[in-house]
Amino acid sequence: DAGVIQSPRHEVTEMGQEVTLRCKPISGHNSLFWYRQTMMRGLELLIYFNNNVPIDDSGMPEDRFSAKMPNASFSTLKIQPSEPRDSAVYFCASSLLSSAYNEQFFGPGTRLTVL
């Protein structure tokens, strides 16, 4: 079975440009999470969705960040305009709401570099 799919795996862009990160959760999963990993701040939850509805976006750092989940099989995280401090690895994870541990399965991550 396919795991969580993220694209692109690597993204290099210049400051001020728009960046869109994409995630396809595991088929049948109905919770989706976006995390960011940096050396300074570690792994942080940005936002998560249940049944395509955003539940908690308190981790989204600024208005420059936005996330959408138009359907059960696709989500995007957009940064506009991007800044060098946004450079990080962005992970998407999915889980099944009814599962015993609500175990989250992570994608391979997108390494974003903003020059």
Partner 1 sequence: AQTVTQSQPEMSVQEAETVTLSCTYDTSENNYYLFWYKQPPSRQMILVIRQEAYKQQNATENRFSVNFQKAAKSFSLKISDSQLGDTAMYFCAFMKPSSGGGADGLTFGKGTHLIIQP
Q: Using alpha carbons only, what angle is made at residue 69 by residues 30 and 100, rounded to the nearest 5 degrees?
A: 15
Q: In what order do the strands lie in the sheet with 5-7?
A: 5-7, 19-24, 74-79, 65-71
In the range 55-74, which residues lie near partner 1 by CB under 8 A? 55-56, 59
**Cβ distance to partner 1 smaller for residue 54 or 81:** 54
Please, which of residues 4-43 interact with partner 1 by CB under 8 A? 31, 33, 35, 42-43
Question: Rounded to the nearest 5 degrees, what angle is found at the Cα of 104, between the Cα atoms of 85 and 44?
Answer: 20
Binding residues for partner 1, rule: CB under 8 A, are 31, 33, 35, 42-45, 48, 50, 55-56, 59, 89, 91, 93, 95, 97, 101-106, 108-109, 111
